[in-house]
Amino acid sequence: MTFTIESEREDDGRWLAEVLEFPGVLAYGQTSDEAIAKAQALALRVLANRLEHADSVAEFVTKTEESKLTMLFG
Domain range summary for the chain, segments of one domain joined by +:
5-67
Q: Domain 5-67 belongs to what architecture?
A: 2-Layer Sandwich (3.30)
Helix (H, G, I), strand (E, B) or coil at 61: helix
Task: Evaluate the CA torsion angle 64, 68, 71, 74 in order and state its sign.
Answer: positive
Q: pTM of the entire structure?
A: 0.71
Give the tens place of pLDDT for each residue, 12-46.
999 999 999 999 999 999 999 999 999 999 999 99
> Given phi > 0 = left and psi -120 to 50 = alpha, else beta, which region is 54?
left
Q: Would you state the pLDDT for residue 71?
A: 39
